[in-house]
Chain A
């Protein structure tokens, strides 16, 4: 029997510069590990994340996308994450409605001091994506080889 190759998901994490990216830095300096499947993209604020970016990630082969921002009320720009929260609530709901598995998208609020939380969240998210398996519902076949 051929040994099935271990599924290594592609995961994109959008992190706001002020809280979550710093939280990821703290997770790093505290040596709090999480799987290498997670790749972080730095954005100034969670409100910079366009639904287009998320769909594009899936298009190009991502298996999961997570957006991390400052806790509501703590946004460096006062209000950015409030807008992000509404946008993502609706986008995720629409993706669920389309039949994309719920676990593939997630929003978490992680402060600059929450290195532990960052690591925990990423571990959980990767586990979830691994259990869901490869994303086949929301990708462009041309990018799968």
Chain B
């Protein structure tokens, strides 16, 4: 266990940047999002939840897959760049850290997504324990311990210090590189902090939410439930929930004509959108009810069916915070358990 005083954080960031780039929560006009750090930026490690999750670091909202243009009547293709420099994502919460694992299942299993893989290989995750969980949090539902994220490096703020603990080889390497700035610390303060966090987690309004009844086995029964027809109605079909979500991984591939050529890029897509998975004949899902159902079925049924029971919701509560009409995954879970109670 190491520590560094809060006042020296900027030095720490600068030191990280000597051999890697640094992505961490920055404040812009009152809103905090993960972004590339440079000296003078307003770092915000107090805000519990960035608006967008940290997934951009490994799966950016858009990225170029390849460029093509005509040269002497022939098509020339140049592939998009894979990440080839080390970077550090700092201040990731336990939920977002689990989110990366959800993405790993999808992008690192065959066929491997080489863009994602390159980023994962070059990125070191420094997580930050949640000092003050909020009422919208429910990570414990998915067995996540916000007091001990388990990333390459875990950190805790206690009093005026940031406590630092490396968990992996990558984490150790980073720690070694920063050893000049880090001093040794005992774990007592951190243990107290962990206890404190865990006790708050128990008091959260969503503390009792369980995923009982969900998972791959529930497919038919959940899919056919008449509840969806009631639940989806206020949905505006915007993509807020999917774009702030740390685990939504759907993307669309589009072409952009630059005049002299075409840039093929991918960008996040949202299953809430009417043109999601649009094909020549039209859409698989023609109504918003179907689209709405898809999102939750994916998180709570299809994904666990494919990946050994792991849910693709991490309980970060961003959708609870941000849905324009007050809808969220917890309401869905609750509605089903209420129905089943009857």
**Binding site secondary structure of chain A:** loop
Contact with A along B281-300 (1 / 0, CB 8 A): 00000000000000000000
Which residues of A are found within 8 Å of B258, using beta-carbon distances?
140, 142-143, 145
Q: Number of contacting residues on B, CB 8 A?
A: 5
Q: Number of contacting residues on A, CB 8 A?
A: 6
Which residues of B are found within 8 Å of A145, using beta-carbon distances?
258, 260
CB-nearest residue of chain B to A61? B259
Which residues of A are found within 8 Å of B260, using beta-carbon distances?
145
How far is it, in angstroms, between the C-alpha of A61 and the C-alpha of B256 when the chains are bound? 14
CB-nearest residue of chain B to A141? B258
Which residues of B are found within 8 Å of A142, using beta-carbon distances?
256, 258, 263
Listed by A's residue number, 10 A-B pairs whose Cβ atoms lie within 8 Å are A60-B259, A61-B259, A140-B258, A142-B256, A142-B258, A142-B263, A143-B258, A143-B259, A145-B258, A145-B260
How far is it, in angstroms, between the C-alpha of A8 and the C-alpha of B258 when the chains are bound? 19
Which residues A107-145 have CB closer than 8 A to chain B? 140, 142-143, 145
How far is it, in angstroms, between the C-alpha of A60 and the C-alpha of B259 when the chains are bound? 7
* 7 further interface pairs, Cβ-Cβ under 8 Å (given A140-B258, A143-B259): A60-B259, A61-B259, A142-B258, A142-B263, A143-B258, A145-B258, A145-B260
CB-nearest residue of chain A to B259? A143
Which residues of A are found within 8 Å of B259, using beta-carbon distances?
60-61, 143
CB-nearest residue of chain A to B265? A142
Which residues of B are found within 8 Å of A143, using beta-carbon distances?
258-259
How far is it, in angstroms, between the C-alpha of A145 and the C-alpha of B263 when the chains are bound? 13
Chain A nearest CB from B300 CB (Å) reads 38
Chain B nearest CB from A91 CB (Å) reads 23
How far is it, in angstroms, between the C-alpha of A143 and the C-alpha of B259 when the chains are bound? 7
CB-nearest residue of chain B to A143? B258
The 8 closest A-B CB pairs, nearest first, are A142-B258, A143-B258, A143-B259, A142-B263, A60-B259, A142-B256, A145-B260, A61-B259
How far is it, in angstroms, between the C-alpha of A143 and the C-alpha of B263 when the chains are bound? 10
